[in-house]
Amino acid sequence: QFFALILIGCRVLLIDASFQPALVLDMAEILLENYCFPDNLVGMQEAIQQAISSGEILHISDRKTLAGVLTAGVQGALNDPRLTVSYEPNYAPITPPALQSLPTEQLIRLIRNTVKLEVMDNNVGYLRIDRIIGQETVAKLGQLLHDNIWKKVAHTSAMIFDLRFSTAGEISGVPYIVSYFSDSEPLLYIDTIYERPTNTTMALWTIPNLLGERYGKRKELIVLISKRTMGAAEAVAYILKHLKRAIIVGERSAGGSVKVEKLRVGDSGFYITVPVARSVNPVTGQSWEVTGVSPSVSINPKEGIAKAKSLIAVRKAIPKAVKRLSDIIKQFYAFKEKIPALLNHLAKTDFYTVISEEDLAAKLNYELQSVFEDPRLNIKTMQESSDKGQELDTTPKTPSSFDNLIDSLFKLEILSGNNRYLRFDRFPSPTILIGLEDRIKEKVWQPVKDTENLIIDLRYNTGGSTEALPILLSYMFDTSSNIHLFSIYDSIRNMTVDFHTLRNIIGPSYGSRKGIYVLTSYYTAEAGEEFAYLMQSLHRGTVVGEISSGTLLHSRTFQVEETSLAIIVPVINFIDVHGECWLGGDVVPDAIVLAEDAVERAHEIIAFHKDIPDLVQEAGDLLEKHYTVPEVAAKVSRLLQSKLTEGLYRSVVDYESLASQLTADLQETSGDHRLHIFNCDIEPESLHNIPKIPSPEEVGFIIDALFKVEVLSGNIGYLRFDMMEDIKVLGAIGPQLIKVVWNKLVNTDTLIIDMRYNTGSYSTAIPLLCTYFFDAQPLKHLYTIFDHSKTNVTKVMTLPEVLGQRYGSQKDIYILTSHITGSAAEAFTRTMKDLKRATVIGEPTIGGALSSGTYQIGNSILYASIPNQAVLSAVTGKAWSVSGVEPHIAAQASDALNVAQKIISAKRQKKKIREIVL
C-alpha cells in the first residue's frame, strides 16, 4: 500500500502524466523481483492501479524533488530507511573487481593494510580487521593468512577483536571467523541468508575443519565496535554476542545490510536502491540490519581498548573469586546439608553477562538465593564493618552506680487495671544481668510479680546480647518447669547448644499463666527481634506493633582475596522449639498497628483476652451438645481447653482471628472440614432458616431458575437442578413442576441427572425425589438419620404415592457430580448409589453435612456451624464419610456429560449386537 501513500497521500504526478504509470509500475516490478521482504508487498499492484485511476494527484515540476517525495513515501510505507529513489540521468555504475580476482601480491598488500595485530601485556592478543574477506579469498590465501596473522595471536590467553573500523566485507567470510572462536564440535547454526533475486535461502554453519588451531570458546573474547562498524563485521559481532561467546564493547554499530543494489527504473533517469538480501539470526529470530548491534558495554569507542583490558582482568578473576567464595561457604556456612547443592549450582553457573565486580556480586547473590533462600548469605562489593560498641563486662562498684545502670536499662511504670509497663532498649550482657540480679529483683521483678499483665516495650530496642535471652525468658515461665527455649548451631565449632529456662534465678518469676504483650517497631532489631520471635514461637506472649527491622544476625564477613568482594556468611543457626531454623529477619506482630498506637492496642487486646476462656469453653460445650459424633466432640472439647492452657490462643487479637484459630483447631482434631466458626456483626439468617412458600405468580420463575430440561438424541433425558428445595416449596410448585419439567422426561429411555452445580440446601425433599425412581411397592429404605441433639433415630423410606408418573426402577439413571456437589445433593447421590439405582460419573463430592446447625457462642458475635445429623447407609448401617461420594466413573466435571453419553451409546450398541446374535 505504499504506492497508494505516494500517489494519494503525497498527491504527486510526474511532469508528463503519460509517463506516470510506466515509472510506477517499473518501480513495483523491481521491488517485487528484488526486495528482500516480499511479504510486505502483497497487494501492491492492486494498490498502484487504484492510486493511478483515482486522479487525485498534483503536478511536481522538478524530478529531484519528485525523487525525494517518492523516497519518503516508500520508506514510510515499508518502514525501511534503506529504500531510496534518486534521479541521476548521468549515473554510470562502477563495479569493483572481486577480491579473489586480484593478483596474489595485491591481495596480500590489501590484507596487510586492513589487518593489525599485537600481543599485549598479560598475554592478551589484539587483532584488528577493517575488512572481512570472503570464502574464495580465504581459500586462496588460507595458509598465508594463518602463518602471518592468526598463528601470532592464537596462543594468547585472551583477545581483543577490533571491528571499530570495519566498514566493508563479505558475508561468506563470517563462518570462518566465528568458527575460530568456537569448538569443532558440535557444529553451530549461526545465520540464515535469504536472497530475493534468486529466491534462495542459505544456512550458515560453523566449519568443522580449519587451518591451524582454534581459539575455542573458553578464552576471553572482547569485540570492539563503533558506529562505523558495518555489514559483515556487524554480522560477526551480532553472532558472537548471541552465542554468548564475546562481550561487545563500544557504541551501537551502523546498521548496514547484507547486500544492497542500486537499480535503474526502466529507461528513465530514476534509480531505486533496494536491499536484496537479509539475515535472520537463528538464536534471536532477528537481525543486526538497520538497527545495528547494541554493545554489552556502552563506551566511547576511543576508550575501547582500555575498557577491554579491564574487562579481561575482571573476567579472568571470576573463576578464582568463585573458587574462593565456594571454599568460604564450604568451611563456614551453617546449613551444612545445603552446601553441596550450593557449590554444585555455582560450578554450573554461566557468568557470561558479568562485566564488573558489581555484576559478579549481583549474579552470585541471585544464583545462591535461587538454590536456597537465605537472605543472610550475601555478597557485596566492599567490606562493610560496623562497630556496635562493646558491651559492659564489669559490674558497678557503688550502690548509686548500680541504681543508675538499672535505671538506664529498665523503665517500669504502673498502669491501670493491675497491669505493668516495662521498657528496655538494649539487652545487656549475661555478666551484667548476673552481677545486677539482686538489684533487678528489687527494682523490676518484685514490683511486677503480682500484676495480671505485663507490657514489655521493645519499640526502641536495637539489640544487644543474644546470651541474655535465656536469663530474661526464664522469668516468663514457672521456675518448676524446664522449658526448652531455643538451640544454637555453631558451624565453626560444629556443635549445637540447647538453651532452657534457668531454675536458679534469684528474683520471683512472672510465671507462665499471666499475659505478656511485647511491643515492636521498625527499630526493633537483633536480640530484640529474637526475643519477640521466641515469645511468639513459645506461645508465651502477644506481639503488638510494627514489623521489626529485619536485621540478620549471627554472620561473619570474609574478604575475597584479590577482589573488592566480601561475602557475609551465617555461621550460626538459631533453631526454635519446633525445630525450625529461624533465618532472622523481620518479626510480624500478631496485631499490626503503628508503633505510637501499640500501647493503646495492647490494652484493647488485654480486655479481649479476658473473654477468650469463656468463649473457648462455650464452643466446646456446643460441640458436645450438637455434633453428630459424641466421642469426637468430647475429644475436640478437651483439646480446645488444652490449647488454651498452653497459650496457643495468645496470638488471637480479635474475633476474626479467634474464629479462624478455633476453626483450624476443630477441623484438625476432628478431621471434619464441615465444622466452622465465623464472626458476624448481625445475626445470621441460618438461625431462622424457614423456607418461604412461593406465591402462584412466583412458581414459574422458581422452576425456570432451578431446573433445566432437555431431551437429547437417542431419547436420553437430561435434568439439571442446582439447589435442593424444601418439601413444602416442592409441594407448592408440584403440579406446575410435573407439567413443565417431569412430563418431558418420564418417557425417555435413559435419564441423566446433572448435580455438578448443586451445592445442596434442604434435605426434606430427598425422599420425594428418590421415590420417582423406585416402584410403588414395596417401599424402599433410603437411609437413616441420627440426630445427636435430639437423641432420636429416623428411618427414611420412599413415599407410597407421588404426583404424576414414576420413572420406575428399570431404566438406567446416570448422576453427574463435581467437587462442589454438596450437602443434600450428596445425600441424594449417595442414596441412589448405595441402592444401586444410578451410575455416578464425575468428581468426588465436597463431603458436606446433610444438616448443620448454626449456634451463637455465648453473647458474642461468634457463631458455630456444626453438623447435627448423621446419615446412616441403608445398606451398611454406617455413617457416611466426610470425604464425600466417590463416583463409579471418575471424570473431570467439565467432561462428565460427554462421558455419560458415550457410555449410554456403547451400552446400546452392545445391546443391539446381542439381540442380533440371539
- Check whether 731 has a pLDDT greater than 50: yes
**Is the pTM of the predicted complex or chain greater than 0.75?**
no
Question: Does the pLDDT value for residue 445 go beyond 50?
Answer: yes
How does residue 384 score in pLDDT terms, banded at 50, 70 and 90?
very low
Give the span between the Cα atoms of 173 and 209, in whole angstroms.
Answer: 15
- DSSP, collapsed to helix, strand or coil, labels residue 37 as coil
- Is residue 387's pLDDT more than 70? no
270-293 pLDDT per residue, tens: 999 999 999 999 999 999 999 999
Residue 214 CB partners (closer than 8 Å, separation 6+): 179, 180, 181, 182, 183, 184
In the numeric block, which cell numbers belong to residue 649? Answer: 490462643
Mean pLDDT of 633-653: 93
Beta strands 581-582 and 572-575, pairing class = antiparallel
Write the single-letter amino acid at 597: D
Residue 760: its pLDDT value, please? 84
Contact 599, 455 (CB under 8 A): yes
pLDDT tens digits along 836-850: 999 999 999 988 777
Are 795 and 835 within 8 A, CB to CB?
A: no
pLDDT at 105 over 90: no
- Give the integer Cα–Cα distance in Å for 785 and 800: 20
Starting at the edge strand found earlier in the chain, the sheet holding 781-787 runs 792-797, 781-787, 869-873
CATH number of 697-909, picked from 3.40.50.300, 3.90.226.10, 3.40.30.10, 3.30.750.210: 3.90.226.10
Answer for the pair 638, 580: CB distance below 8 angstroms, yes or no.
no
Over residues 759-774, the mean pLDDT reads 90
Asked if residue 98 has pLDDT above 70, the reply is no
Give the percent of the chain with pLDDT over 70. Answer: 91
In this structure, are residues 851 and 627 in contact, taking their beta carbons and an 8 Å threshold? no
Q: pLDDT-derived band of residue 9, with 50, 70 and 90 as boundaries?
A: very low
Cβ–Cβ contacts within 10 Å for residue 555, how many? 18
User: Residue 14 — pLDDT band, cuts 50, 70, 90?
Assistant: very low
Band of pLDDT at residue 48, cut at 50, 70 and 90: low
pLDDT at 867 over 90: no
Residue 402 has pLDDT above 60, yes or no: no
Contact yes or no for 515/543 (Cβ under 8 A): no
The proportion of the chain whose per-residue pLDDT surpasses 90, expressed as a percent, equals 54
Q: Do domains 101-308 and 402-556+582-598 have the same CATH topology?
A: yes
Where are the domains positioned within the chain? Answer: 19-87, 101-308, 402-556+582-598, 609-679, 697-909
- Checking if the pLDDT of 150 tops 80, the result is yes
Q: What is the pLDDT of residue 18?
A: 46
Name the least confident of 45-49, 108-112, 385-389, 782-786.
385-389
Strands (E) in 642-744, as ranges, are 676-679, 707-712, 716-721
| Structural element, H or E, at residue 599 | helix 598-609
Q: What is the CATH number of domain 402-556+582-598?
A: 3.90.226.10
Higher-confidence residue of 52 and 253: namely 253
Q: Give the three-class secondary structure for 333.
A: coil
CATH superfamily of 101-308: 2-enoyl-CoA Hydratase; Chain A, domain 1 (3.90.226.10)
Other residues' Cβ atoms within 10 Å of the Cβ of residue 882: 17
pLDDT digits (tens, 9 = 90+) for 511-569: 899 999 999 999 999 999 999 999 999 999 999 999 999 887 788 899 988 888 999 99
The pLDDT assigned to 750 comes to 95
User: pLDDT category, 684, cuts 50, 70, 90?
Assistant: confident
pLDDT for 401: 56
Nearest to 649 by CA among 681, 684, 683, 619: 619
| pLDDT (mean) for 404-425 | 85
Q: Of 229 and 869, which is predicted with more confidence?
A: 229
pLDDT of 108 over the 90 cut:
no
Instruction: Count the Cβ atoms, other than its own, within 10 Å of residue 58.
Output: 8
| SS3 at position 757 | coil
pLDDT tens, position by position, 154-212: 999 999 999 999 998 899 999 999 999 999 999 999 999 999 999 999 999 999 999 88
SS3 761: strand
Residue 710, φ and ψ in degrees, nearest 5: -155, 145
- Residue that the C-alpha cell 595458509 belongs to: 143
Residue 397 has pLDDT above 60, yes or no: no
16 or 911: which leads in pLDDT? 911
Q: Is the dihedral of CA 675, 677, 682, 687 positive or negative?
A: positive
Q: What is the pLDDT of residue 102?
A: 64
Identify the band that residue 388 occupies on the pLDDT scale cut at 50, 70 and 90.
very low
Confidence of residue 133 (pLDDT cuts 50, 70, 90): confident
| Residue that wins the pLDDT comparison between 203 and 142 | 203
Residue 231: pLDDT above 70?
A: yes
Of 106-110, 312-316, 455-459, 463-467, the poorest mean pLDDT is in 106-110
Confidence class for position 894, pLDDT limits 50, 70, 90 = very high
Q: What is the DSSP letter of 86?
A: E
Least confident of 42-56, 308-322, 649-663: 42-56
Position 141 confidence tier, pLDDT thresholds 50, 70, 90: confident
The pLDDT, as a whole number, for residue 670 is: 86
